A and B are shown apart, each in its own frame.
Chain A
């Protein structure tokens, strides 16, 4: 998928050599999430993970810097949509996040696609969409966004 950084919704697609339920569980099982989540240099202590997988439920955990444990980054998102093994949608109200105004509502949508239909049984395509839109403008803002921005790409690159 060819999405440039100049769109306002981040889209990341990645294929994994694991069945869909396994990939889904990596996001929803606290033990598993603690085992892998976080950027390099950070870990998620198992004790901080609290997940309630259902619409209206929550996903809470804290990323802790390996070198300096006083540097932490808490995540507290609310699931708005859950389809087991298929879809997780969560929103988070950002507070004290560098470069982001407090109160910004971020939406992360994670789709789990079974690649068996494409002749790759046992593999999963993960499609992650994350948007920084303030909630009020999220609905109408997507259409035409890409094309408007593509004209500005050259300028931004200059």
Chain B
């Protein structure tokens, strides 16, 4: 993964219009005109959003200049969510250990080894 890849993906996803565009593209490919329809903003503004999404690798655009349609590319999203999933597994197992630790220190038989007081 390129050094700044995830930052670029998250930055691209940070904008509500761009998220709406992605949601629209998850239904089907669409031209700039079709994508612009639900928004009260200009075609050039939509084009700028598409450029950001394309740079982040979230969409691909067909070469044909006249009927340039965009399609969603889910792979970067998969990378982002896979990364999140690793953290979830990390915390799940980590908190299992915390649970065991809390049981251990709370057992009367464990002789309540209180760590030295901090000041």
In the complex, how many angstroms separate the beta carbon of B3 from the nearest chain A beta carbon? 5
Is B115 a contact partner of A32 (Cβ separation < 8 A)? yes
Q: Which residue of B lies closest to A140 (CB)?
A: B14
A69 part of interface (Cβ distance < 8 Å): no
With A and B bound together, what is the CA distance between A102 and B2 in angstroms?
Answer: 11
**A22-B106, A26-B101, A40-B93 known; A8 vs B84 contact (CB < 8 Å):** yes
Contact partner of A132 (CB less than 8 A), chosen from B10, B100, B103, B105, is B10
Is B87 a contact partner of A130 (Cβ separation < 8 A)? yes
**A26-B101, A36-B101, A99-B6 known; A5 vs B93 contact (CB < 8 Å):** no
CB neighbours (8 Å) of A5 from chain B are 81, 84-85, 88
With A and B bound together, what is the CA distance between A17 and B105 in angstroms?
Answer: 12
**A8-B10, A8-B80, A152-B77 known; A23 vs B19 contact (CB < 8 Å):** no
Binds B, one of A85-93, A113-121, A143-151: A143-151
Question: Which applies to chain A's interface (DSSP): helix, strand, loop or mixed?
Answer: mixed
**A100-B83, A137-B10 known; A35 vs B72 contact (CB < 8 Å):** no
B116 part of interface (Cβ distance < 8 Å): yes
B51 part of interface (Cβ distance < 8 Å): no
A–B Cβ pairs within 8 angstroms, 8 of them: A5-B84, A22-B106, A23-B98, A132-B6, A137-B10, A137-B14, A152-B77, A156-B78
Question: With contacts defined as CB atoms under 8 Å apart, how many contacts are there between chain A and chain B in the complex?
Answer: 128
CB neighbours (8 Å) of B93 from chain A are 39-40
Is A18 a contact partner of B1 (Cβ separation < 8 A)? no
Count residues of chain A with CB under 8 A from any CB of chain B: 49
Residues 22-70 of A contacting B (Cβ, < 8 Å): 22-23, 26, 29-32, 35-40
Contact partner of B4 (CB less than 8 A), chosen from A18, A37, A101, is A101
**A137-B14, A141-B13, A152-B77 known; A12 vs B3 contact (CB < 8 Å):** no
Is A132 a contact partner of B84 (Cβ separation < 8 A)? yes
Contact partner of A99 (CB less than 8 A), chosen from B10, B13, B86, B99, is B86
Binds A, one of B20-28, B36-44, B60-68: B20-28
CB neighbours (8 Å) of B101 from chain A are 26, 32, 35-36
Is B115 a contact partner of A29 (Cβ separation < 8 A)? yes
In the complex, how many angstroms separate the beta carbon of B80 from the nearest chain A beta carbon? 7
Is A10 a contact partner of B19 (Cβ separation < 8 A)? no
Is B7 a contact partner of A16 (Cβ separation < 8 A)? no
Residues 43-84 of B contacting A (Cβ, < 8 Å): 72, 74, 77-84
